[in-house]
Amino acid sequence: MNKHALAQWNIARAAIILVAFCASSAFAQKLQVEPIKPAEPAASAAAPAAGGIQSQSIFEVKPDASADPNYAKQSNAERQKVQPGNNAPIWRQAGQGVEGYTSLPKREAPEAGFLMQGVTQYPGSRLTNAGEAWRQVRNQVIIPYGGALLIIAALAIGLFYWRKGSIDLHAPETGKKIERFTYFERAAHWANAIAFCTLAISGIVMAFGRYFLQPVMGSTLFGWLTYALKNAHNFMGPLFAVSLVIVFFTFVRDNMPAKEDITWLLKGGGLFGGQEVPSHRFNAGEKVVFWGGVFALGLIVVGSGLVLDKLIPGLLYVRETMQISHMVHASAAMLMMAMFMGHIYLGTIGMKGAYQGMKTGYVDETWAKEHHELWANDIAAGKIPAQRTPPAVSSAHTVQV
Ligand code: HEM
C-alpha cells in the first residue's frame, strides 16, 4: 500500500473512532439515572390508610412511632401498623409469662404456650424468670465453683504424689496370692468404671469445653465433638445406673461400718505419716467413698440424670423440673468426680499392687497384711476363704496357704 493510500486509511479510521465515541457518550447520557430527590412529606403520613400494605418509599421520613404515649402498651397488631416487623410486644408479653396460642395438647405439653418462663409462673421469685435464674446459677455458681473443686482436687492429688510418691510395701512379697476380687466383682467394677469415666469426660467437655477446648479446636469441630459426647453421655447414663446398682449390692456387705473404722479415720489411715492402721477387707476411707460416692452421690446423680434423660415414667417434664434436675445433677456430679479422682489415683499409681488386685483379682499376701491386716488375719485364721472362685475357673493363681 503506497504512502498516499495509507494516509487516507488513517484519516478514515480516526473519523470512525470519533463518530463511535460521540454516539456512545450520547447513549450513556441517556442511561444516566436521575438522582432521586426526597419527596415532600405528604400531609397524611401520620395516619396510614386503613387495610392492606401501602407501598411506601423507604426514604419517606416517618414520624417517630415511639413518640406515641401508648407505644409501650401497643399490641403486636398495633405495632405492625406503625413499625412493620417490630414484634417487641410479643416478646414483652412472652417475658411477662403471658400464655400464647398453641395447638399442642395441654396435658402433654403444659408449657407449650409459654415462650419464656415469666414472673407470674413463680410467685415470690425475685428474678425476671426462672430460666434466667437457672442460667445464673449454672454460669455463676456451678461452673466456677465446680471447676475450682476439680482443679483443687487434682492439685491436691498431684501435691500428695509429689510429696509422698506411691504407697509401697515395706516387706518383700511372699509370692503367695490371695484372691481379692472375683470375676463377677471385677466385671461389675470395670463396667461401672468405664461408664463413669465416659460420663465424667463428656460432662467435663459439655460444662468446661468452651473455655479450654473451643479456643483450640474452633467452633465447628468443637460443636461436633460436644454433640457426639452429649449423645454418648445420654446413652452411657442408663448403663452407669444399672452397673452402679450391681456394684452397690456386690460390695455392700464388706462396706458395713466396723469399730476399727473410727481409729482409721482419726489417724487418717496412716496415709499422712506413721504406721498404716489395720482394717478389714475395705478400710474406712474406701467405706466413705462407698457410702458417700457410690451410694449417696451415685443415687442423686443417677436419679437427676434419668430425669434429664426423661426416663422416669409419669413425671411432668416442664422446664422447672429440668432446671432443678440439672442443677442437682451437675453439683452432685462435680462432687462425685472430685471424690473418685482420689479413688482412681489410689487405684492406679497411688498404691502399688491395688490396680493388680482389681485387674487380675489377686494380691500378694504381704500386700494384704500391710494394707488390710484384719482381713489377712481372718484369711489366715480360715474365717474367710482365701479363694472364692472355684479352682476350675481360676487357672493361673491358686493360694499356697
Ligand atoms: C478408672 C476408674 C477406676 C479405677 C482405676 C478404679 C480402681 C479400683 C481399684 C484398684 C480397686 C481395689 C481397691 C482395693 O483393693 O481395696 C477398686 C475398688 C472399688 N471401686 Fe474402683 N476404680 C475406678 C472407678 C470406680 C468407679 C467409677 C466406682 C463407682 C462409682 C468404683 C467403685 C469401686 C468399689 C465399690 C470398689 C470396692 C472397694 C470398696 O467397696 O470400697 N470404682 N477400684
Tell me the residue length of the chain: 401
User: DSSP for 109-167?
Assistant: -TTTT-SS--GGGSTT--SS-HHHHHHHHIIIIIHHHHHHHHHHHHHHHHHHHHHH-SB
Ligand 1 centroid – CA 365 distance (Å): 20
Q: Assess whether the C-beta atom of 345 lies below 6 angstroms from ligand 1.
A: no
Separation CA 90–CA 96 (nearest Å): 10
pLDDT at res. 105: 84
Separation CA 375–CA 1 (nearest Å): 122
Which of 210-219 are b and which e, b meaning 16 or more Cβ less than 10 Å from the residue's Cβ?
A: eeebbeeeee
Q: Which residue reads 404456650 in cell numbers?
A: 113
pLDDT at res. 400: 47
Ligand 1 centroid – CA 113 distance (Å): 48
Q: Assess whether the C-beta atom of 294 lies below 6 angstroms from ligand 1.
A: yes
Separation CA 6–CA 317 (nearest Å): 95
pLDDT at res. 399: 46
pLDDT averaged over 10-residue windows placed end to end, the chain, 401 residues: 72 78 67 54 51 55 73 82 85 81 82 73 57 89 96 95 91 94 96 97 96 95 96 94 97 95 88 81 96 97 94 87 95 97 95 95 95 95 88 57 44
pLDDT at res. 107: 76
Cβ–Cβ under 8 Å, residues 337 and 147: no
Residue 144 contacts by C-beta under 8 Å, 6 or more apart in sequence? none
DSSP H or E run through 270:
none
pLDDT at res. 50: 52
Q: Assess whether the C-beta atom of 196 lies below 6 angstroms from ligand 1.
A: yes
- The 3-class secondary structure across 315-362, one letter per residue, is CCCCHHHHHHHHHHHHHHHHHHHHHHHHHHHHHHHHECCHHHHHHHCE
Q: Identify the CA nearest to 236 among candidates 301, 326, 323.
A: 301
Q: Assess whether the C-beta atom of 197 lies below 6 angstroms from ligand 1.
A: yes
Q: Which residues on neighbouring strands pair with residue 167, listed in sequence order?
A: 351
Q: Assess whether the C-beta atom of 193 lies below 6 angstroms from ligand 1.
A: yes
Q: Assess whether the C-beta atom of 255 lies below 6 angstroms from ligand 1.
A: yes
Ligand 1 centroid – CA 354 distance (Å): 10
Closest protein CA for atom 13 of ligand 1: 354
Closest protein CA for atom 22 of ligand 1: 344
Pick from 279, 339, 341, 358 the residue to mutate for probing ligand 1's pocket: most ligand atoms within 8 Å of its CB. Answer: 358
Ligand 1 centroid – CA 398 distance (Å): 23
Closest protein CA for atom 8 of ligand 1: 347
Atom of ligand 1 nearest to the CA of 196: 27
Q: Assess whether the C-beta atom of 353 lies below 6 angstroms from ligand 1.
A: no
Separation CA 330–CA 265 (nearest Å): 29
Cβ–Cβ under 8 Å, residues 140 and 324: no
Maximum Cα interatomic distance, the chain, rounded to a whole number of Å:
135
Q: Assess whether the C-beta atom of 251 lies below 6 angstroms from ligand 1.
A: yes
CATH of region 136-380, choose from 1.10.3720.10, 3.30.70.20, 1.20.950.20, 3.40.462.10: 1.20.950.20
pLDDT at res. 100: 85
pLDDT at res. 7: 79
Q: Where are the domains of the chain?
A: 136-380
Cell of 24: 456512545
Separation CA 291–CA 339 (nearest Å): 12
Q: Assess whether the C-beta atom of 188 lies below 6 angstroms from ligand 1.
A: no
